[in-house]
Amino acid sequence: MLKEMLKKSFVNIFSTSTSKISSKILNYDVISFDIFDTLIKRDVNNPTDVFELIEVKYNIKNYKNMRIKAEKIARDNSKSEEITLDEIYSNISLPKKEIEKLKQLEIQTEISICTKNRDIYEIYKKIIANNKKVYFTSDMYLSIEVIKEILKNNGYTKYDGIYLSSEEKVSKGSGNLFAKLLQDNNLSNKSIIHIGDSIKGDFINPHKYNIHSLLIKPQKTDKINNTIDGNILSSFIQNRKPKYLNYYQKFGYEIFGPILYSYTTWIHEKIKKDNIDKAYFLARDAKIIMDAYKMLYKKDIPIYYLYLSRKLVIYTKLSDVNSFKELYHIFNSIIKDTSTIKDILLFLNIDYKKYEKELSQLNIDINDVLMALNNDNREKLFNIIKSEIKLISNKQKECLKHYLKQNEFCGNVGLIDIGWNGTIQYYLNEISDANISGYYYGVYYGKNDKYNAIKRYGYLFDENNRNEDKDIVKLNVGLFELMFLSSEGSTLYLKEENGIIKPVTGRKDLSSNNIEKILDIQNMAKKFIEDAINSKDKYLLDKLDRKIYFENYKKIILSPTLNQIKLFKNFEFSNLSNDKLINNRSLLYYIIHPKRLYIDFRNSTCRVMFMKSLFKIKIPYYKILKKIYEMGDLS
């Protein structure tokens, strides 16, 4: 009998449309709502997590145990069905001032971590619009003044009464709070429906008084980890994430949103601490970072967007190059082992058709893999194109100087990009007099790294903060960079028009279909930031361990599913050649063509997913790749 009743009354508001639920509720004249976990959600998994949060964030030793023990004593000694917060704190053996301070801290923390249940709020608005009577009926030790403030903060301003167990001294747990609600307001039990999440308090006990009820199915929270910081972030996401998202939108809100938010807040803190006068965001990866910065901090300091690329700034140094060896040394971070001569010439903005005949006379084919040429032919190739390289290089150097001046690039400037070496910063240091500090999500480091001399700081890892996250990013950098990718093409070179320096960009890297997916990711990341800005507990978000914000991305990399791989597999990029994020073929194909396996694997920018996609089975791909990387066999 009870099972049948539960089946009829149990509603999953997260998969059932609010209009269907509303139409059922609107058949009643009076609607009673439970408060916590129905009208209001907390940004923690359990009520007692509030105590751990206070203990950890405010460094109050043993507060959680002390607070739980005090409540147990108060309940054991109480002659009423409910206790008050004052009664709880009267059982803590501390000076009066200290007790009052802790009590106020708990109240303020409760207020700050409460947010509206958005699905129930939509139902509530429809009920108010239909002039129904509304009561809030809840078991809670907090005072009615505190509850009213929480409700008001979250938009629940119209109601006919609040029935709290702490005020009435009877509870939903016994059912007596419902009897008092009916009696005080002379309500017919047939005219009222109660909505809540507790089987006993919100379903069984109302039925004792023949009150209809609707039982709300709790939403499952995907835990990040077992720490209080992970608890807060996972609850924050779950309590605000919109319904009916596609996979890319969900990825944007749950994974990229937290990464973008925490990185941007760190940038702001560093800029203020380092007395930076102006912030320069670099095309293209920093476009979304700049958007987030403007959302969070508006006009704190002057903001600029520079159309620069690694290729462009490196090109300004090529006028000094006198051999292929020197050319390769400068471009070795961009040139691939599998790049053809044609790829390289196009990359250098040189029309390869001009040199086809001359190269042919030297028995050099334009489609030959560059690194397959012997040293003599590489030098011959360089001597053929040397004069054009120098000409273009000198022209770009002058354009870059004017472009920086045009954008007031002087004084203490902050250069912001996703990472990883600080190449653009390194070359700007040589061409500019500005005092440049670089702020990156991560900074690769090495013993004899030429970039070590520049002032560069990494949010997640750098020379002073060395951790495994560097390898997680480096071995799978393609997926990480994909989140930040702007739809505009890479900056190829600068040109002058009527005294103004303008950037010339290449074709877009992605197909229109994939651009839509990137926009889904980025728009939902911005939605996360909007929700963070509007939340009462933004202070707590800003105080979380920064590694927590990376955890959801880390889970995908360490253990990707075949479905996740499928959803990202066909993203294609226009670099020196058209490469897919996970550019692999069948295992049988690679058995027949082992050289192709080497080429595709070397070109892959998401190697864990590459391996999982190839072998399908569940093995620790990341650990295997890391071992190979540590042995120096994987660059």
For 2-52, the pLDDT digits (tens) are: 555 555 555 655 556 677 778 888 989 999 999 999 999 999 988 899 999
- CB neighbour list of residue 179: distance below 8 Å, 6 or more residues apart: 170, 209
Per-residue pLDDT tens digits for 381-393: 888 888 888 888 8
- Three-state SS for 181? helix
Per-residue pLDDT tens digits for 507-534: 666 666 788 899 999 999 999 999 999 8
Bond preceding residue 284 cis, omega within 30 of 0: yes
- CB neighbour list of residue 321: distance below 8 Å, 6 or more residues apart: 327, 330, 386, 389, 390
- Three-state SS for 94? coil
Distance in angstroms (rounded) separating the CA atoms of residues 114 and 536: 8
- Measured over the CA atoms of residue 624, residue 625, residue 630 and residue 634, the dihedral's sign is positive
Q: What is the mean pLDDT of residues 276-304?
A: 92
Q: For residue 447, what pLDDT is reported?
A: 66
Q: For residue 17, what pLDDT is reported?
A: 63
**Of the ranges 183-187, 399-403, 423-427, 569-573, which one carries the lowest mean pLDDT score?**
569-573
Query: What DSSP string runs through 68-91?
Result: HHHHHHHHHH-SSS---HHHHHTT
Backbone angles phi, psi at 119, to 5 degrees: -70, -45
Q: For residue 493, what pLDDT is reported?
A: 86
Please tell me which of 116-125, 208-217, 335-344, 440-449 the model is most confident about, judged by mean pLDDT. Answer: 116-125
> Between 477-484 and 548-558, two packed helices, what is the crossing angle to 10 degrees?
130
Per-residue pLDDT tens digits for 528-577: 999 999 887 777 788 888 899 999 999 988 889 999 988 888 776 654 44
Matching residue, tokens 């194909």? 589
pLDDT band at residue 131 using 50, 70 and 90 as cut-offs: very high
Distance in angstroms (rounded) separating the CA atoms of residues 441 and 343: 30
Q: For residue 170, what pLDDT is reported?
A: 93
Distance in angstroms (rounded) separating the CA atoms of residues 400 and 504: 13
Q: What is the mean pLDDT of residues 458-463?
A: 92
Q: What is the mean pLDDT of residues 101-110?
A: 94
> Is the confidence at residue 337, as pLDDT, over 70?
no
Domain residue ranges of the chain, discontinuous segments joined by + = 2-216, 321-387
> Is the confidence at residue 160, as pLDDT, over 80?
yes
Which candidate, 411, 336, 340, places its Cα nearest to that of 604? 336
- Say how many C-beta atoms besides its own lie within 10 A of residue 131's C-beta: 8
pLDDT band at residue 633 using 50, 70 and 90 as cut-offs: low
Q: For residue 135, what pLDDT is reported?
A: 96
**Of the ranges 206-220, 276-290, 301-315, 425-439, which one carries the lowest mean pLDDT score?**
206-220
Token pair for 101: 């301070």
- Say how many C-beta atoms besides its own lie within 10 A of residue 357's C-beta: 8
Mean pLDDT of the chain: 87
2-216 carries CATH number 3.40.50.300: no
Q: For residue 526, what pLDDT is reported?
A: 97
Kindly report each contact of residues 246-252 with a partner whose C-beta sits within 8 Å and lies 24 or more positions away, as own/partner.
246/520, 247/567, 248/517, 248/518, 248/520, 248/521, 248/524, 248/567, 249/520, 249/521, 249/523, 249/524, 250/524, 251/521, 251/524, 252/483, 252/520, 252/521, 252/522, 252/523, 252/524, 252/525, 252/527, 252/528
> Is the confidence at residue 500, as pLDDT, over 50?
yes
Per-residue pLDDT tens digits for 189-202: 889 999 998 889 99
Distance in angstroms (rounded) separating the CA atoms of residues 159 and 150: 14
> Is the confidence at residue 150, as pLDDT, over 70?
yes
**Of the ranges 192-196, 309-313, 536-540, 596-600, which one carries the lowest mean pLDDT score?**
536-540
Q: What is the mean pLDDT of residues 388-401?
A: 90
Q: For residue 578, what pLDDT is reported?
A: 55
How large a percentage of the chain has pLDDT more than 70?
Answer: 93
Q: For residue 579, what pLDDT is reported?
A: 62
AA letter at 285: D
> Is the confidence at residue 585, as pLDDT, over 90?
no
Q: Which residue has the higher pLDDT, 340 or 411?
A: 411
Q: Is the separation of the CB atoms in 381 and 366 below 8 Å?
A: no
